[in-house]
């Protein structure tokens, strides 16, 4: 039995397809790429932002605050990544980093955050990833973390360089 659709059914299918795509376009919100902040409007007569005026009392207050708080050595200052390497996992899109942390501090640290930068062979930047290690590194010791999942990376990444961001003193 050979059944041919008549013209009315094809019109009906076309009308449903047009109505569906029109309603989808109306209901879909704007993407982030379409949203742009309004530019700042600065008057031509307003030039106060060009020459900020600092009174002598403000200047002494600023220097007093800068000298009153000495630079304290943070937990990251005694930490160092002594060796690192990386390879791909998960169909080539996941970065698995192996590195050794050395803690030269007189106290243990935990919740160490690292930031890894992934680049091409020519050195051009591709991806940044941060990862927090919820583990403890004892004082005056070292600890190796093998195949830590840092996150998804660009498939063209050839090199990785990880550095320490923060750590919590115990």
CATH number of the domain that 133 lies in?
2.60.40.1620
Residue range 7-11: mean pLDDT, rounded: 68
Q: Provide the pLDDT for residue 143.
A: 96
Is 67 a residue whose pLDDT tops 50?
Answer: no
- Long-range interactions of 46-49: CB distance < 8 A, separation 24+: none
Q: Provide the pLDDT for residue 25.
A: 60
Q: Provide the pLDDT for residue 59.
A: 47
Joined tokens for residue 18: 């047009």
Residue range 119-128: mean pLDDT, rounded: 94
The structure's pTM equals 0.56
Q: Provide the pLDDT for residue 157.
A: 93
Residue 6 Cα to chain centre, angstroms:
57
pLDDT-above-70 percentage for the chain: 61
Give the pLDDT band of residue 69 (cuts 50, 70, 90): very low
For residue 33, is it within any domain? no
Which domain does 150 fall in, by range?
Answer: 75-169
For residue 143, is it within any domain? yes
Q: Bin 99: left if φ > 0, else alpha if -120 < ψ < 50, else beta.
A: beta
Mean pLDDT value across the chain: 77
For residue 93, is it within any domain? yes
For residue 142, is it within any domain? yes
For residue 137, is it within any domain? yes
For residue 158, is it within any domain? yes
DSSP state of 49: T
Looking only at the bridges linking them, the beta strands covering 79-89 and 94-103 are antiparallel
Count up the domains in the chain and report the number: 1
Q: Which residue has the higher pLDDT, 115 or 50?
A: 115
For residue 83, is it within any domain? yes
Give the pLDDT band of residue 107 (cuts 50, 70, 90): very high
Angle, vertex CA 89, rays to CA 132 and CA 118, nearest 5: 60
Give the pLDDT band of residue 113 (cuts 50, 70, 90): very high
Place of tokens 């498939």: 155
Q: Which residue has the higher pLDDT, 40 or 82?
A: 82
Is 100 a residue whose pLDDT tops 70?
Answer: yes
Is 51 a residue whose pLDDT tops 60?
Answer: no
Q: Which residues are paired to 142 by β-bridges?
A: 102
For residue 119, is it within any domain? yes
Q: How far from 123 is each of 56, 61, 85, 116, 118, CA to CA, in Å?
A: 47, 44, 17, 14, 9
Q: Provide the pLDDT for residue 16.
A: 72
Q: Provide the pLDDT for residue 45.
A: 53
């Amino acid at each position: 039995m050979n059944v041919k659709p008549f013209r009315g059914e094809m019109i009906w299918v076309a009308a449903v397809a047009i109505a569906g795509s029109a309603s989808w376009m109306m209901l879909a919100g704007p993407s982030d790429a379409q949203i742009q902040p309004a530019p700042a409007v600065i008057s031509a007569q307003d030039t106060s932002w060009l020459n900020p005026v600092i009174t002598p009392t403000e200047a002494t207050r600023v220097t007093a605050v800068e000298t009153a708080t000495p630079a304290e050595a943070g937990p990251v200052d005694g930490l160092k990544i002594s060796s690192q390497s990386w390879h791909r996992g998960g169909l080539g899109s996941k970065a698995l980093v192996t590195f050794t942390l050395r803690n030269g501090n007189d106290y243990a640290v935990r919740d160490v955050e690292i930031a890894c930068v992934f680049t091409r062979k020519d050195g051009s930047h591709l991806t940044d990833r941060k990862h927090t290690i919820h583990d403890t590194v004892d004082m005056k010791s070292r600890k190796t973390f093998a195949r830590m999942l840092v996150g998804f990376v660009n498939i063209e990444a050839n090199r990785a360089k990880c550095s320490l961001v923060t750590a919590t003193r115990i």
